[in-house]
Structure 1
Amino acid sequence: MNISVVIPLLNEQESLNELYNWIAKVMQSNSFSYEIIFIDDGSSDDSWATIQSLSKSDPNVKGIRFLRNYGKSQALHAGFEAASGDVIITMDADLQDNPEEIPELYKMITEEQYDLVSGWKKKRYDSVIAKNLPSKLFNAAARRTSGVKLHDFNCGLKAYKNKVIKNIDVHGEMHRYIPVLAKNAGFAKIGEKVVLHQARKYGKTKFGMSRFINGFLDLVTIWFMSRFGKRPMHFFGLIGTLLFLVGFCFSLYLGIDKLFIETKGRLISQRPEFYIALTAMILGTQFFLAGFIGEIMLTTKRDKRRYNVSQKISL
């Protein structure tokens, strides 16, 4: 199979038929063999009924339905597990991503041998204050922190080699950072393509300003995990050791001062250095233990599914 199109969605019933027809037209005109995998992330409208109807009329349409809303990352994870195409295309279900971009993205993966190609919505139709400006700030921070030079980390329209999506773990809210996860997994050839952005035709956006706050927090997480995720003792143990040494040095100073220098008869507990030493040694011990526990958790880690599937169609 040439292409798997993975589409996570939440309450997008109005756009699904139009999106399907558009994708099918592009695939058929380019003679691609394909599958379209819709992941219903706990929709409260009739999105699942529409997916069922589409699957009955076209065996290339497949579906996964979550019991409740788990988030876009979990939806993509489920879609990636089910995808069987050589090239995987992800896109949003709100018609803001243009399926006409698929053939060129496919060529960049198969002919130019990119591991991953990310869309760049250079011209956007979103609110400047609500989305455009925060998005630019977010992307600038992501580029500097991750080292991946993309202009639009949030663009849902991306293309991947099959081996990329089978070797990364998308969880939490990490869907924004799939290129970073891919880079950390060893897939270094990451490209970018300017894609058309279209104004939302139906409904309202499901994302608010909180996504940018969460995005920055996730960026800190992925920065930490990429550097210390496999050896947490290198981070926590180092800080713990330094703090403990600081506390020990203060304690040593207090002991020498009490035995050989101090003549005023003050109790050690009455001196501020005592509390600095005590606090530093306690914190150092806690940091060291955190690193030790992290190492134990890594050795006993087991894969665990982070969502519950209600129904599947032809998977």
Structure 2
Amino acid sequence: MKLSVVIPAYNEEESIPETLRALYQTLVKHEIDHEICVTNDNSKDKTEQVLQELQKEIPTLVYFTNKGPNGFGFAVRYGLERFSGDCVAVMMADLSDDPEDLVKYYRTMQEQNVDAVFGSRFSKGGKVVDYPKLKLYINRVANLIIRFMTGIKYNDTTNAFKLYKRETIEGVKPFLSSHFNLTVELPLKAYVRGYSFAVVPNSWTNRKYGESKLKIKEMGSRYFFILLYCMIEKSFSRGDYRKKA
């Protein structure tokens, strides 16, 4: 089962080398057939030049440049339309996600034959390092609301770091989100449409370089839109979009 890893990157010239080297070395160590797909989201720094240099030492690295429209959601979607693997993970370019956790996701998908594997930073065995207090508070409240309104038995829906089978990605299309709300759209659509998932504890570490692209003030209504959409689909679509047996 070939694993693809989609990584959106905007102005990540400082972070991306360490991230890609660590990811590649980990996947090679565990003998996992893979490709690393970076979407350069029209970066204004030297991200593209850095990727060109990294291709010389990382043979499984491919990158695309998304000329626009730009934004986190568009960049991830760009990669999700172009990966070649049997399953695909979404990871961050800043090494906040641990490559060893991705191996756990992959093995879990193999062993349990689930349609998706979701990470939880807040279940037993999960951890966060240097998480900004305000963002942590907002995160926990948002996930509590999502659980209450949808019934999903999972406490970290907003966590972008997840693994999906190719069939699952095809099954949750068309994508609606252009921004960080895509991280909620993918798992909630998978849940509402009847795809199976396993939950694996994972760790998260705050970035060492640059700044987060997530702007909380801009995202509230967009998250709420996706949440309402998924609730409406669950309640009124009469199963038209559900996974076919």
The TM-score by the shorter chain falls in which range?
Answer: 0.7 to 0.9
Deviation at 1:213, TM superposition (A): 4.0
CA contact (8 A) 2:66 2:78 kept: no
Match of 1:203 in 2: 210
CA contact (8 A) 1:42 1:69 kept: no
Question: SS in structure 2 opposite 1:53?
Answer: helix
CA contact (8 A) 2:4 2:84 kept: yes
- What fraction of aligned residue pairs are identical, expressed as a percent? 27
Q: Matches of 2:20 and 2:52 in 1, distance apart?
A: 12
Match of 2:176 in 1: 171
Match of 1:242 in 2: none
Matches within 5 A, 1:35-54: 35-54=35-54
The counterpart of 2:148, out of the listed 144, 147, 155, is: 144
> Quick check: 1:191 aligned with 2:198?
yes
Sort the Cα spacing of 1:111 and 1:208 in 2 relative to 1 into closer, same or farther, 3 A: same
CA contact (8 A) 1:134 1:212 kept: no
Letter in 2 for 1:25: Q
Q: Matches of 1:218 and 1:87 in 2, distance apart?
A: 24
Letter in 2 for 1:190: F
The counterpart of 1:135, out of the listed 139, 146, 156, is: 139
Deviation at 1:186, TM superposition (A): 3.0
> Quick check: 1:158 aligned with 2:162?
yes
Q: Matches of 1:141 and 1:209 in 2, distance apart?
A: 16
Letter in 1 for 2:10: L
Q: Matches of 1:40 and 1:20 in 2, distance apart?
A: 13
Q: Residues 179-224 of structure 1, C-alpha deviation per residue, up to 9 Å, x if partnerless?
A: 111123331x222111111121101111122223431233123322
Q: Matches of 1:222 and 1:183 in 2, distance apart?
A: 9
Q: Matches of 2:103 and 2:216 in 1, distance apart?
A: 33
- Structure 1: gaps of 5 or more residues: 232-315
Question: SS in structure 2 opposite 1:79?
Answer: helix
Q: Matches of 1:219 and 1:76 in 2, distance apart?
A: 19
Matches within 5 A, 1:193-272: 193-210=200-217, 211-228=219-236
Match of 2:92 in 1: 92
Deviation at 1:119, TM superposition (A): 1.1
Structure 1 residues 168-177 or 13-22, which shifts more? 168-177
Instruction: Give 1 or 2: higher helix fraction.
Output: 1
Match of 1:300 in 2: none
Sort the Cα spacing of 1:137 and 1:14 in 2 relative to 1 into closer, same or farther, 3 A: same
> Quick check: 1:30 aligned with 2:35?
no
* Cα RMSD, aligned residues only: 2.0
Question: SS in structure 2 opposite 1:6?
Answer: strand
Letter in 1 for 2:189: L
Structure 1 residues 105-114 or 59-68, which shifts more? 59-68
CA contact (8 A) 2:159 2:183 kept: no
CA contact (8 A) 1:115 1:164 kept: yes
Matches within 5 A, 1:38-117: 38-68=38-68, 70-117=70-117
Structure 1 residues 220-229 or 205-214, which shifts more? 220-229
